[in-house]
Amino acid sequence: MKFAELATYFEKLEATSSRIELTNILSELLKKVSKDEIDKVAYLLQGRVVPFFEPIEMGMADKTVIQALGSSYGVEIEQVNKLNSQLGDLGLVAERLSNKRQVTSNKLLVTDVYDGLYKIATSHGEGSVEKKISTLSDLLSGLDPKSAKHLIRITLSKLRLGIGDPTVLDALSVAKTGDKSHRKALEEAYNKTSDLGFVAKIYWSFDSAQDALEAVKKVQLQVGKPVRPALAERLPNAQEVIKRVGGEFAAEPKYDGFRLGVHKKDDKIWFFSRNLENMTHMFPDLLEAVKREVKAESFIFEGEAIAYNPITEEFYPFQETTKRRRKYGIDEAITRLPLKIFAFDLLYLNGKDITGLSYVERRKKLEEIVPGEGTVLVAKEEILHTADELLKMFAEQVTAGLEGIMIKKLDSPYKAGARGFHWVKFKRQAAGELSDTIDCVLLGIYSGTGKRTQFGVGGLLVGVYDAESDSFVTVSRIGTGLTDDEFRKVNALAQKIKVAHKPARVNSLITPSYWVEPKEVLEIFADEITRSPVHTAGKAGDEPGYALRFPRLVSFRGADKRPEDATTVKELAKMYDQQKKVKVS
C-alpha cells in the first residue's frame, strides 16, 4: 500500500466523530492492508513505530521539523516560522508548502515511510539531529500535500484521528468478519501483550476468519511485554461485598503506592508501570533486590511499590512515593526514599502463563518464590468470612494509614485489563456509605485571574472515560481546593501537553481557555455526584450529564494510570445510584 492511500483514510477519519463511521472507515482501510504491512499500519494508527511500552520516541521538536521542512521545500526558516505562527500546526504548514511547490509525488509505500520514521526514532548520538532532519526531508520530497501533513503530525506525536485502541480492535474484527464478533478475543490478546501490532499481525496471518480467531485466542503472556492490569469493582458496603464474593474470600491491604508489573527472563528484568511505561531504569535498587530475592527462572508478578522510612519503618504517602519516579538524581532518591515492593499476584512462572489458575493457586506459587523478607515482600493476606471481619480489617488498615483493603474471590482467574467482581476495592467509609475518590482526566485549563495569574492556571476542566464511545467526557470544573504549589504543578504539566484545538476524542459542551491532550490522570474527591446539563458524562439527548459537587484535587496519578484507566461513565453511574440509595435509606 502506498502511504498516500493511507493518508487518504487518515483524512476521512479526521473528518468524522461518529464511532460507527470511524469503525467503518478503519475496517475499509484494513481490508486493503497486506499481512506484511498490518503491524506497521497498526502502530502508525497509534502515531507510533513501536508499542507504547518501548521507550522509542521520534525525538524531533518543532525546531528540527521546521528545519526539515525548509530543507525539503527549499524555503527559508523565517518563512516556515511565519506560516507556523499563522496556522498553528506544522502538519498544515507542510501541506501548504507542498502545494506551493506543487509536490504531487506518491511513490513512497507505507513500509518506506515506516522505515524512515523508525530510523528517525532510533537515531542517537553525535550527528543524530542532522540524520533526523535529512531523513524527514527525504521522506517529504516523496509525498503529496495530504501525506506530508500526516507524516509531520506522526513525527510530532500529534496525529488527530479521533480513535483509540478499542476502535482499532473493533475495525480489525469488522474487516475480517463483517461484524464485531471477534472483538472480545482481540481485546483479551491485546490486554495480555499491550502490543497492537503484534496482535494484528497474528490475526492477519490467516485468511480464514475462524483460524485467525483461534490463533488470537492462543496468545499468551509474553515476558517483556506489559500486561494490562486487572481492575477492581466498587461496592457500597460490606454486606454487598459478601453477596458478590461469597462466604469465604481473601483480603489484602490496599497500599497507596504505585503498581508495578515485574518481569524476568534470561536474567533480564523489566518494571512496567500501570500505564505500561518501562520504568526499569528508575529503580536499580528494586532490580537488584528482585534479582537477588525472587527464586524463579522466569516470571511476571504484580506488586505495589511504596516508599518507607528505614528508621521508623513507616510507609510514606503516595505523594512522597511518586518522587521515586525520576530520570535524574536516582542515587540520591534511593537513599532518601527507599522502596519496598509488595507482590500480590503471580501471572507467569517458569515459561507458563498461569492466569487461568485460581487466585488461591497463584497465591501459593507466589509465596513459594518470594521469601517474604527483605525488599520484595508478599502482600499480607487474610481469609475472611463475614461482613464484621471485613469491617474490622478495614478499620485496622485505615488506622495504619493505608487506603483500605482489596477483596479477592478465591476461585477467580486473572483477567488482564478487565474490570469485574473477581476483585473489589473497599476504601474510605463514612456514615455507612463508601465514599470513594474519582480518577479524572485533565482536559483543559482556564487562565488565572488576580493572584492566580502568577500560576498561569485559574481552573481545570476534567472528565472521565466513556468506553462506549472511546472518548473523554466532561464531569467538572475545578477552581478551588488546590494549593499554590499544586496550581504551579498543573501549569507545568499543562504546558507540556497543551494543544491548539480540542482533541478529537474529547466530547465537551464547554470550552476552556486552552485544551490539553487527555493524558494526565488526577485523583479527585467530591461531596457528591449530581446531574448537570453542561457536562457530557452520561448525557443523552435532553438528559443532563453527571457532575461533581465541590470537587477537590487529592493527588496527581501521573504515570501510574493510563487515561483509559480513569473512572468510566458506567462506574460513575453506579456510584450515583449507590449514593441515591444511601440518601433514601
CA proximity to 198, closest of 172, 230, 177, 229: 172
Task: Give Cβ neighbours of residue 157 (< 8 Å, ≥ 6 apart).
Answer: 47, 57, 58
Burial class (CB in 10 A: 0-12, 13-18, 19+), 15: exposed
List, edge to edge, every strand of the sheet that includes 419-426: 231-234, 419-426, 404-409, 249-254, 382-384
Q: What single-letter amino acid sits at 423? A: W
The rounded distance, in Å, linking the Cα atoms of 114 and 117 is: 5
SS3 state at 195 = coil
Residue whose grid cell is 506497521:
40
The rounded distance, in Å, linking the Cα atoms of 242 and 240 is: 5
259 assigned binding-site residue: yes
Residue 263 main-chain phi, psi, to 5 deg: -120, 145
Are 519 and 556 in contact by the 8 Å Cβ rule? The answer is no
419 assigned binding-site residue: yes
252 assigned binding-site residue: yes
The rounded distance, in Å, linking the Cα atoms of 172 and 487 is: 42
Residue whose grid cell is 504515570:
559
What are the helix (H) ranges across 348-409?
A: 359-369, 387-399
- What is the number of residues in the chain? 585
CA proximity to 57, closest of 102, 7, 122, 3: 122
Distances (CA, A) of 279 to 180, 342, 518: 35, 17, 21
CA angle 567, 156, 168 (to 5 degrees): 50
304 assigned binding-site residue: yes
The rounded distance, in Å, linking the Cα atoms of 482 and 403 is: 21
Residue whose grid cell is 463475614:
386
Are 536 and 570 in contact by the 8 Å Cβ rule? The answer is no
Residue whose grid cell is 504484580:
302
Q: Which helix (H) or strand (E) holds 404?
A: strand 404-409
| Catalytic positions, written as ranges | 254
* β-sheet bridge partners, residue 549: 528
Residues annotated in the binding site for ATP, as ranges? 252, 259, 274, 304, 344, 419, 425
